[in-house]
Amino acid sequence: MTIPAYTLAGLAWLAAAVLLAWWAGAAGRRQTWAALAVFLAFTVVFDAVLTGLPIVTYGEAAIAGIRLGTTPVEDYLYGAALCLTAIAAYDAARGRRRSLR
């Protein structure tokens, strides 16, 4: 089984975002994971509307075919990566990075 490029890119970005969150010090805080949970809860609701109506559609060849309701798993990969990247970038800009020693 081959993984579609869109799915692979989402997985790669999510992995990079988790590493960035760890480096920035955000991964060790409950607030980061609470914010991610709230973001994903809203993503579930709004993506269900967008893909269920269907306002947004995906070519089946571009996605893995795994869905939560009507929403492809890739939407959650990219959403989680975006949320973690934003939090980590904010922390890094504020100088909250971990020491690399």
CA distances in angstroms from 32 to 10, 21, 83, listed in the order given: 20, 9, 9
Q: Which two tokens stand for residue 45?
A: 């609701």
User: Could you tell me the pTM of the whole model?
Assistant: 0.86
Please tell me the distance from the alpha carbon of residue 79 to that of residue 85, in angstroms, as a whole number. Answer: 10
Per-domain boundaries in the chain: 5-93
pLDDT of residue 87: 96
Alpha helices in 1-101 (DSSP H): 5-24, 30-52, 73-93
**Which of helix, strand or coil describes residue 5?**
helix
Residue ranges of the chain whose pLDDT lies below 70: 1, 96-101
